[in-house]
Structure 1
Amino acid sequence: MEIVFRAAVIYLFLWLVTRALGRATLGELSTFQLVLYVAMGDLVQQGVTQQDYSITGAVLAISTFAVLTAGVSLVQSHWPRTRPFTHGTAIAILRDGQPDLKALSGEQMSVSDLFASAREQGIRRLAQIELAVLEADGRISFFTRELDGDSDQHDESGAPEKPNVG
């Protein structure tokens, strides 16, 4: 029973650590963050099982993590108001072409990371971005507007207008 208790404590600690480290997805982790997560795996095993190398100890530890993960999902599905606490919420990090430095700092994200993400989406100028939102999963959603001279004229349906041939 001690392994179950230790696994539950470590699970909660890991959840807090991953929430505190920010919202980077696996493909966006820095080298240091990746090394930290890999090292945590080994350290967790030692802390949970106290060098208990038995199959029973491993099964208990993994089962505890699985039950707690399923429990968090169940809580979210029954009580949607818990989702911001367990998974976070989306945050606007840029409005009308101007980065929100306070929001970026709070999420441990640099302006250069924001610029790089915009370039990956094919956005050339910040002025094109009406709103950028850092999603709870670490991705950034960009909502752009068309600037004068950036595109051909379009009618209300979004289709290009036919040129007047006279």
Structure 2
Amino acid sequence: MEIVYRAAVMFLFLWIITRVVGRSTVGELSTFQLILFITMGDMVQQAVTQQDYSFTGGVLTISVFTLLTIALSWANTRWPRLRAITHGVAVLIVDHGEPDMTVLRRERMSLDDLMAAARQQGFERLSDIRLAVLEANGQVSFFARQDSGGEGGNSGAEQTPSVG
């Protein structure tokens, strides 16, 4: 039964760590973040099973992680406000061509990262962007300004992974 408690505590700890690390997607992890996540697997195994290499110990650990993941998904559908805590919320990072530096700093996204993401979507200048939203999954949605002639080259939501 101790393995079940250890697995539950480790699940909570890993959830907190992944929330603290930020909104980067796996493809854009920094070298340190990648090493952290790879190393965590071995550390979790040691912390949860305490040298219990039995089949039963492995099944118990994986079962607890699976049940907690299912419970969290169920709770998110039952109580939508919980989703903001467990998954995060989208935040506005550019409004009418002006980046919100406070939000960018809080999300640990540099102006260079924002510009790189914008260039990948065909935006040459921030002034071409009506809105940019950092989604909860780490992607940036861009909405182009409409020019006076009615042609809005990149209008609509376009997404690219963040690099922060």
Give the TM-score taking structure 1 as reference length.
0.87
Q: RMSD value over aligned CA atoms?
A: 1.2
Hey, what does 1:10 align to over in structure 2?
A: 10
Matches of 1:8 and 1:154, distance apart in 2: 55
2:76 is paired with a residue whose SS is: helix
Report the structure number with the largest CA radius of gyration.
1
> What percent of counterpart residues are identical?
57
Residue-by-residue CA offset, 1:14-42 (whole Å, 9 max, x unaligned): 10011011101111111111111001111
Which ranges in structure 1 are unaligned for 5 or more consecutive residues? 156-166
Hey, what does 1:65 align to over in structure 2?
A: 65
Conserved 8 A contact 1:128-1:147? no
Residue-by-residue CA offset, 1:119-142 (whole Å, 9 max, x unaligned): 111111110111111000000001
Runs of 4+ in 1 over 2 A off after TM superposition: none
Give the TM-score taking structure 2 as reference length.
0.88
CA drift of 1:147 comes to: 3.7
The one of the two structures with greater contact order (alpha-carbon pairs below 8 A, sep at least 6) is: 2
Matches of 2:144 and 2:29, distance apart in 1: 26
1:133 is paired with a residue whose SS is: strand
Matches of 1:135 and 1:27, distance apart in 2: 16
Which ranges in structure 2 are unaligned for 5 or more consecutive residues? 152-164
Conserved 8 A contact 1:10-1:48? yes
2:89 is paired with a residue whose SS is: coil
